[in-house]
Amino acid sequence: MSFLHPGLFLAGLVAIGLPVLIHLLTRRRRKSVRWGAMRFLMEAYRRQRRRLRLEQFLLLLTRCALVGLIGIGLARPIFGAASDGRLGSRTVVLVVDNSLGSSTVDSNGVSDLDRSKARAAEVLSGLDAMAGDRVALVTLGGPVRSVVMPPSGDIGSVGRLVEGLATTDSAADFEGLGPILDNVSPDDAQIVVLSGWRRGSVSTLQSSQSGASWRSDLGVLVSQPASASGSNISVASLEPPRSLLVSGGGGPADFANPARVTLVRSGEGVSRADVTRITAFLDSVGGTTSTNSIGEVIVRWSAGQTEAIATIALRADAITTGTSYGVLRVTIDGDAVAGDNSRQVPIELREQLRVAIIAPGRFGQAVGVQRFGAIDWVRLALAPSDDDERGLRLIEIDPGALDRPRVAGLDAAVVLRPDLVRADGWAVLRAMADRGGLVLVTAAAGETVQDWTDGFESAFETGWTIGREAMDLVDMPAIEEPGSRSGSVLGVLSGELSFLVDAVHVSRVLSVSGVSDVAVVLRLLSGEPLLVMSRPAEGRGVIAVLATAIDVDWTDLPLKPLMVPLMQELVRQGVAQGSAGIRLTAGGLFGQDGRTQQLTPVGGGRSVRVQAEGTPMRDAGVWRGLDEAGATVGLLAVNADHAAGDVTLGSADQVESAFRGFGLDNLGMLDATGANGSPSDGPANESLRRDGWSWVILLCAAVLAVIEMFMARVVSHAGHMFGADTGLGQTA
């Protein structure tokens, strides 16, 4: 790259050569005429020659300067580059924060993104494609996206792309920005990062420093934090009692527990008391889409309060009959950030669940509790009344007769005699779990050696090691209170769970090792896992193992109050966890699950093909998953990243310190922008602007032109050649 701009070189050449050429061409040659008065004229000329030469020299310099200024003003040298010793083309990488926090609006309705776009337009106005300048555009709304990369010389098109930028519902992805900047060429490219720098973005920037470093030779200019504060309330979470609701038979018990909503607020509004209205809806999207309001609740904030939890009771009559997909949705009042004012959770609506009990059939009825077998206890727990039996349809299947037609359409299977299941039967159960079903396996009652464990592990690949022989527990320990290990499986029972588990004792149990603490649902006080749950590898369903048998010789669980709610929750929550509803936070990737090939927005919109490496989901909404044939296989609910909606103002020191953590040597801060998005004057801005100097230079050229005209008039001595100064007037 030449150290001298071509236009500047040409302008200098013209400025020097053109006036000289004009002067030489217009120089008048006179012949000496010898006559009487010539002697007096020559004497006067000699006296004025030095003055005339000085005047002509000054006029020549003025004309050279005039032409030079015009050339410089039109050539627009790169003053920003000249300031650091460089002249020539420039490469700028615009990094615009369009995350959720950038949608924060002030009292004038101007958002942080609007200000960033105005500053980006100012930067672009200082670039010249004719001079070889290039520009790239990267957006930070996660996952980070290279809109224009490698840098392009079509600055106008990049400007139009900047104007069309919209906010996402995800957090800023600074972690993904580093690899993009590592590939930027040339090495002297200028990186300009534009953001409002609210806490939602600053926190993400700070957290992305862990183990990350950028190229130290990068020149980075960072915008100042926003000056206009705001107040925002985010819907941080929505937890229904179950993600699968049954409306028939005993299904209304699913509505006995309310949905739980967590709100978080930030910004200047935290310092004062406030009121927020939460409205809940239950949307059915199976067949004919419908929306049913299920009520509202008022949250009253006290001054300084940043988090609130509210509950909303679900109405059973809000569910229409029939099997369909649905969405539980809550909304709140509007505020500075609109993207996190709602949240949705996919649910399945069923009239009935089909549950298989895998055990040998028995003839006749069991008379008296002492003659009850495992199948009787489980049937009684799952259908203690006729209404419950209509909500849960129970089917008995002999373990030796397991095949795909018999398990087709089943939601759950309770295997009470795993020792009688053949290898092909385990394969059938694995296929059922892969498509979203629950498989609950208990120890086989009356069997000393449990030889089914190898077949189970071979089929489900859980990594667990289940003992072949039962351990006798002499002291018959009770069940440890689950606490946080219960997760969402027994969450409905959290109020009375400590009382229920304390009454149960176990005298015989199978050892289970290789299980993570997360997978343990119930554990004995002696330390042995009693109930473990997990998902099979690459499957959507749930696998559960009860390390004891449903038999009074193993445990008194069948005789205790825990038996009924435990079996009910295992089936209902297990099926719900394997249901066709998926939740995702904006900014995540939706990967292929073996069935979903295409995503279509509920309510209309452009479909998206599911990519093998994962489809980025940047915006909140509900999507219908379609298989290869176009049939619906489930719902995907994408919610805003509420942490990115923290509108608390960050400081310039926090931003600079965070960027220094990436190992940058050349870091600067752009001047602050006004409320209307126009940048103020300052050296940081001038390093990216050149057109601002052009009008100043051209104005100087105009003034110099006026001076040149006056000097030309004076130097010509029109009307005075034979005046008093020559001394010839009197002589004549």
Yes or no: say if 555 and 470 are a contact pair by the CB < 8 Å rule.
no
Q: How confident is the model at residue 689 (pLDDT cuts 50, 70, 90)?
A: very low
Percent of the chain surpassing pLDDT 70:
79
CA dist 729 → 39, 47, 470 (Å):
15, 16, 139
The DSSP line for 385-408 is SHHHHHHEEEEEE-GGG--HHHHT
Which is nearest to 438 in space by CA: 568, 551, 312?
568
Asked whether residue 79 carries a pLDDT value surpassing 50, the answer given is no
Considering only the top CATH level, what class is 83-229+649-689? Answer: alpha beta
Asked whether residue 52 carries a pLDDT value surpassing 50, the answer given is yes
Yes or no: say if 128 and 688 are a contact pair by the CB < 8 Å rule.
no
Cα dihedral 378→380→385→390 (10° resolution)? 30
Sheet hosting strand 259-267, strand order edge to edge: 231-239, 259-267, 307-312
- 604-633 pLDDT, tens digit per residue, is 888 889 988 889 999 999 999 888 888 888
Give CA–CA dist 241/315, Å, rounded: 12
**DSSP type of residue 89:** -
- Burial class of residue 385 (count of CB atoms within 10 Å of its CB; 0-12, 13-18, 19+): exposed
What's the pLDDT score for residue 223?
94
What's the pLDDT score for residue 230?
86
- Coil, strand or helix at 663: coil
Q: How confident is the model at residue 234 (pLDDT cuts 50, 70, 90)?
A: very high
H/E element, 704: helix 691-716
Residues carrying CATH 3.40.50.880, the chain: 353-577
**How many C-beta neighbours within 10 Å does residue 195 have?**
28
Residues carrying CATH 2.60.40.10, the chain: 231-351+580-644
What's the pLDDT score for residue 240?
85
Q: Which of 121-130, 228-237, 513-522, 591-600 has the lowest mean pLDDT?
A: 591-600
Asked whether residue 675 carries a pLDDT value surpassing 50, the answer given is no
User: Residue written as tokens 């027994």?
Assistant: 490
716 or 545, which is more confident: 545
Provide the mean pLDDT of the chain. Answer: 81
Give CA–CA dist 635/578, Å, rounded: 12
Asked whether residue 599 carries a pLDDT value surpassing 90, the answer given is yes
Q: Which of 204-213, 381-390, 576-585 has the lowest mean pLDDT?
A: 381-390
What's the pLDDT score for residue 1?
39
Yes or no: say if 408 and 435 are a contact pair by the CB < 8 Å rule.
no
Asked whether residue 213 carries a pLDDT value surpassing 50, the answer given is yes
Yes or no: say if 122 and 114 are a contact pair by the CB < 8 Å rule.
no
Asked whether residue 334 carries a pLDDT value surpassing 60, the answer given is yes
Asked whether residue 242 carries a pLDDT value surpassing 60, the answer given is yes
Which residues have CB under 8 Å from 294's CB, separation 6+? 280, 281, 282, 312, 313, 314, 315, 318
Which residues have CB under 8 Å from 719's CB, separation 6+? none
Q: Which of 435-444, 529-538, 680-689, 694-703 has the lowest mean pLDDT?
A: 680-689
Instruction: Give the phi and the psi of residue 639 in degrees, each rounded to 5.
Output: -115, 155
Yes or no: say if 5 and 87 are a contact pair by the CB < 8 Å rule.
yes
Q: Which of 125-129, 319-323, 430-434, 678-682 has the lowest mean pLDDT?
A: 678-682
Q: How confident is the model at residue 731 (pLDDT cuts 50, 70, 90)?
A: very low
Q: Which of 23-37, 64-78, 166-180, 483-497 has the lowest mean pLDDT?
A: 23-37
Which is nearest to 286 in space by CA: 315, 319, 250?
319
Give CA–CA dist 591/582, Å, rounded: 11
Yes or no: domain 353-577 corresponds to CATH 3.40.50.20: no
Buried b (16+ CB within 10 A) or exposed e, 2-19: eeebebbeebbeebeeeb
Residues carrying CATH 3.40.50.410, the chain: 83-229+649-689
- Coil, strand or helix at 441: strand
What's the pLDDT score for residue 152?
93
Give CA–CA dist 256/608, Å, rounded: 38
What mean pLDDT do residues 482-494 have? 64
Yes or no: domain 231-351+580-644 corresponds to CATH 2.60.40.10: yes
What mean pLDDT do residues 516-542 have? 87
- 139-191 pLDDT, tens digit per residue, is 999 999 999 999 999 999 999 999 999 999 999 999 999 889 888 877 678 99
319 or 77, which is more confident: 319
61 or 43, which is more confident: 61
Q: Kindly tell me the sign of the dihedral angle through the C-alpha atoms of 637, 642, 643, 647.
A: positive
Q: Which of 7-11, 140-144, 219-223, 703-707 has the lowest mean pLDDT?
A: 7-11
Yes or no: say if 622 and 344 are a contact pair by the CB < 8 Å rule.
yes
**DSSP type of residue 209:** T
What's the pLDDT score for residue 83?
43
Q: How confident is the model at residue 193 (pLDDT cuts 50, 70, 90)?
A: very high
Q: How confident is the model at residue 7 (pLDDT cuts 50, 70, 90)?
A: low
